[in-house]
Amino acid sequence: MSLHLKDLSVQYGRHPVLTGLSPAPIPAGSVVGLLGANGAGKSTLLRALAGLQAASGDARLDGEPLLGRGQPDRVGYLPQSLPQGSPLLAYEAVLSTLRATRPDLSAASAEQRIEAVFDRLGLRDLALRKMAQLSGGQRQMIGLSQVLVRQPRLLLLDEPTSALDLRWQLAVLQTVRSLTAGRSCLALIAIHDINLAARFCDRLLILGNGGLLADATPTDALTPEVLARAYAVEARVEPCSAGFPVVLADRALPV
């Protein structure tokens, strides 16, 4: 299983956002971080792969075309916006998204799946709370549960840790890592926390100027030159004691 993108381009009206993206094939089990400045096109790429945004070129998951078609059973997309506060209980909110894509599952298997996801993410205490009464971070965790419970082959997560405290950020990325390894699915994660991405991703795709500024392991992708081009910052990259690259951004450069 793998994800192949070839000459992928997206434009809004006459305004091109991404032009001719052809990253190296992404094999099963990978966790790939999608980095880049605000407006670089991270959400646009994820939406295109989720079939929610018109795109040209080719994108294939296990050889099957992805573009132009929503495939919620194979592709799990977590949008950047947090789930709405609704009168539903958290458990019901997850059940309703599972039912929408897998009406064939028995009540017992649906329950089993939801419990497994809540256990994995440590969310049991939230199950019977109303969505409207959850904090932003708690709602983000339920949003992620709604995606994971469907057990998609491809996870497209748009800033899944943006509302989370430190522990939950780690818990989410650890969970995504272990799920991708265990089920041989793969994850593409748009994320602004470069050091979190460097710690958990096998590979980084860094977007800028409508294309790829880097497509490599965190150690190879994160250089002061690439960071200057991607974010217009002066930065140092130093290895931490655990061997991961750490980015220390010193100042914003004039643009």
Ligand X SMILES: Nc1ncnc2c1ncn2[C@@H]1O[C@H](COP(=O)(O)OP(=O)(O)OP(=O)(O)O)[C@@H](O)[C@H]1O
Q: Which span (32-40, 97-105, 110-118, 215-223) binds ligand X, by CB under 6 A?
A: 32-40
- The C-alpha atoms of residue 190 and residue 43 are separated, in whole angstroms, by 7
Name the residue nearer to ligand X (CB basis): 80 or 86: 80
Q: Is 139 in the site for ligand X (CB under 6 A)?
A: no
Three-state SS annotation for 180-232: HHHHCCEEEEECCCHHHHHHHCCEEEEEECCEEEEEECHHHHCCHHHHHHHHC
Distance of closest approach, residue 41 Cβ to ligand X, in angstroms: 4
Spatial CB neighbours of 72, under 8 Å, sequence gap ≥ 6:
100, 101, 150, 152
Distance of closest approach, residue 22 Cβ to ligand X, in angstroms: 18
Task: Give, for 137, the enclosing helix (H) or strand (E).
Answer: helix 136-148
Q: Which span (35-43, 198-206, 211-219, 246-254) binds ligand X, by CB under 6 A?
A: 35-43
Task: Give, for 100, the enclosing helix (H) or strand (E).
Answer: helix 90-101
- The C-alpha atoms of residue 136 and residue 141 are separated, in whole angstroms, by 9
Distance of closest approach, residue 232 Cβ to ligand X, in angstroms: 14
> Other CB atoms closer than 10 Å to residue 105's CB: what's the count?
14
Distance of closest approach, residue 212 Cβ to ligand X, in angstroms: 13
Task: Tell which residue, 145, 150, 221, 220, has the closest CA to residue 185.
Answer: 150
- The C-alpha atoms of residue 2 and residue 24 are separated, in whole angstroms, by 11
Distance of closest approach, residue 255 Cβ to ligand X, in angstroms: 14
- The C-alpha atoms of residue 124 and residue 116 are separated, in whole angstroms, by 10
Q: Which span (33-41, 58-66, 130-138, 197-205) binds ligand X, by CB under 6 A?
A: 33-41
Q: Which of 14, 38, 166, 243 binds ligand X (CB under 6 A)?
A: 38
Q: Which of 8, 32, 35, 41 binds ligand X (CB under 6 A)?
A: 41
- The C-alpha atoms of residue 117 and residue 254 are separated, in whole angstroms, by 45
Site for ligand X in 55-74 (CB under 6 A): none
Q: Cα 246 vs. chain centroid, distance in angstroms?
A: 21
Which pair of tokens denotes residue 51? 């079939």
Q: Is 36 in the site for ligand X (CB under 6 A)?
A: yes
Q: Which span (37-45, 63-71, 143-151, 195-203) binds ligand X, by CB under 6 A?
A: 37-45
Q: How many residues bind ligand X (CB under 6 A)?
A: 11
Contact string 73-112 vs ligand X (x = CB under 6 A)? -------x--------------------------------
Q: Which of 5, 17, 144, 235 binds ligand X (CB under 6 A)?
A: 17
Q: Which of 30, 43, 138, 161 binds ligand X (CB under 6 A)?
A: 43
Q: Which of 16, 25, 27, 39 binds ligand X (CB under 6 A)?
A: 39
Binding interface with ligand X (CB under 6 A): 12, 17, 36, 38-44, 80
